[in-house]
Structure 1
Amino acid sequence: MSMVSIRNVTGKGQIVLRAALLAACAAVIASCSSTDESIDLQSYVDTIEPADALYNQGLANLNSGRLKEAAKKFEAVDRQHPYSEFARKANVMAAFTSYKLGNYDQAVQAARRFVNLYPTDEDAPYAQYIIGLSYFNQMPEVTRDQRDTRLAIQNFNELLERYPGSIYEDDAQAKIRAARDQLAGKEMQVGRYYLERREYPGAINRFRAVVEEYSNTRHVEEALARLAETYYAMGLVSEAQTAAAVLGHNFPDSQWYADSYALLQTGGLEPRENTGSWISRVGSKIIGG
């Protein structure tokens, strides 16, 4: 790898480089004894590589699959040439490289820094997309805390709001749907837990959240069936009938509807919608309606 001195950098790049070097050298000099140590400024300057060379080396390493080496080069661009155009580009590539390495916290940090510094840059949508991807890839099993799932949704929504029409829009929307389905699954998991223990109010709250907040997920069928089951167990017959009726209207061929219908028949009842019920009011929002 070739090294160049400050004399090889011209124009605006030389001015920026000199300023950065003077600041760095001043810090070094301040920490050293003025009588016992000497600073070889030329030797220090000769270790600086041109920004474009470092950036291109980073790209070459990235294309060759040497991700750790690529990350070091991109970091070196920002460290040695913090005010250069290549530093701006290197910030995005550093975020991407960290993402590919699975260093999601570093990827989020680098990408967020870029978005904050350059919110209108052409690469800002990509940086925001990397933030969403980093959280999305850390979504846990449905039985665990869903903090990263919510953060994925939040950051993908921010991408859609701040950069409408970007090339990442379709994928962001698909991942939002997947993440919302995950949150609905979490609500169902907790609701079943309460139902098994006959803690009916807690179960209803969870199943109701799925119907009201996640009506376009695959869990809404079971949520309506579980509401019918829970209300029936509590003796709230009208609500049980309404839940079954809304389920049957939206998913007439569903096994969950068949089970709800059979449950009501054990008490000589059948699905019947009470239009004054909250279940009836949200029924029009359900994807099967």
Structure 2
Amino acid sequence: MLSTLVLLTACSSKEPEYTTEADLYHAAEEQLERSQWESAIKNLNSLEENFPFGTYADQAQLELIYAHYSSGEADAAIATANRFIRLHPQHRNVDYAYYMLGMASFTKDQGMFERVMPVDTSKRDPGAARESLANFTQLLNRYPDSNYAADAKKRMLHLRNHLARYEIHVANYYFKRGAYVAAVGRGRYVIENFPQAPATPDALAVMVQGYHLLKMPDQSNEMLEILKLNYADYPALNKNGEFDYDYMYNNGQSPWLAYLTLGLFSKNEITGFDTREIYDPQYKVTTDVARAD
């Protein structure tokens, strides 16, 4: 009796076998709707292997990109998207493959913890962000009227802001190392390559501070005038429009306050410039994507 019950339980836990192309595709569709990524991937791969020229073959490949991405398999999503583009360069939905390249390339270096918990990804190596930006740019260049163009533009704006913020992080690091010329260079790079980015006021502040430390007052004052003209409320500026050169220490707190709160013998910590909470409160971006049409 017990052996019979075990046998019945084992049989009931097996996944159903699908033999026709339509059965495989519709089963995968239901599994995608239920976020059963592993089962969906298995059935979509089976469909491609057994019915490579079938009615659902092309759409199944697009769904497979989505399934791999949604399951956190960014590299597999990228490989599948590239293969679809190579095999079907004129397909009516090939723009979706380009779109998913942009989505997957930005998340491929993220671990499970980073996908679940808020993490400041602007401090990470920018390679993935640059790759993602290039992929979205390719989508817009090839298919400017794509259904995914509007979303791609929003994500590109986020990526540009992300890359600009990375440059400020590096500039702050250079201040800690005493590499003032390099810090100024990072600030200038933001101004020249990411105009209007929320990191722009910090980039100007970096240049004001950097030139000041390099004892180049003319250049420092020039950047200060630009900062005052465009960002009069920048927190390092006092009521008279003068720049507080101690602002980059202890997150903008007074050095005397630092002594009082941290101890008489504590040293000022260079924390640099980071005013995202003022100029860029929405610096996060969703990684949710749509299924292929």
Query: Is 2:67 the counterpart of 1:97?
Result: yes
- CA shift at 1:238, angstroms? 1.4
Correspondence 1:167-246 to 2 at 5 A: 167-246=147-226
2: distance between equivalents of 1:243 and 1:263? 11
2: distance between equivalents of 1:246 and 1:98? 47
User: How does the TM-score come out when normalised to structure 2?
Assistant: 0.69
Which of 12, 28, 32 is the equivalent residue of 1:62?
A: 32
Which of 110, 114, 128 is the equivalent residue of 1:148?
A: 128
From the two aligned structures, give the one with the greater helix fraction.
1
Considering only aligned residues, what root-mean-square deviation do their CA atoms show, in Å? 2.4
- CA shift at 1:239, angstroms? 0.8
User: Equivalent pairs: percent with the same residue?
Assistant: 26
In structure 2, runs of 5+ residues without a counterpart are 1-16, 111-120, 247-293
Query: Is 2:107 the counterpart of 1:137?
Result: yes
Which of 106, 116, 122 is the equivalent residue of 2:76?
A: 106
Structure 1 pair 265–91 and aligned structure 2 pair: CA distance change class (3 A)? closer
Structure 1 pair 114–99 and aligned structure 2 pair: CA distance change class (3 A)? same
- CA shift at 1:265, angstroms? 10
Is the deviation greater in 130-139 or in 186-195?
130-139
| Letter aligned with residue 229 of structure 2 | H
The structure number with the bigger radius of gyration is 1
1: distance between equivalents of 2:39 and 2:131? 30
The answer on whether the counterparts of 1:231 and 1:239 sit within 8 Å (CA) in structure 2 is yes
The answer on whether the counterparts of 1:222 and 1:256 sit within 8 Å (CA) in structure 2 is no
The answer on whether the counterparts of 2:18 and 2:24 sit within 8 Å (CA) in structure 1 is no
Partner residue in 2 for 1:285: none
User: How does the TM-score come out when normalised to structure 1?
Assistant: 0.70
Output one character per residue of 1:138-193: Cα deviation in whole Å (capped at 9) or x when no partner: 46623321111111111111111111121211211111111111111111111111
Partner residue in 2 for 1:52: 22
- CA shift at 1:257, angstroms? 4.4
2: distance between equivalents of 1:231 and 1:189? 18
Structure 1 pair 196–216 and aligned structure 2 pair: CA distance change class (3 A)? same
2: distance between equivalents of 1:120 and 1:62? 26
Structure 1 pair 198–89 and aligned structure 2 pair: CA distance change class (3 A)? same
2: distance between equivalents of 1:222 and 1:262? 16
- CA shift at 1:260, angstroms? 10
Structure 1 pair 220–184 and aligned structure 2 pair: CA distance change class (3 A)? same
- CA shift at 1:73, angstroms? 1.0
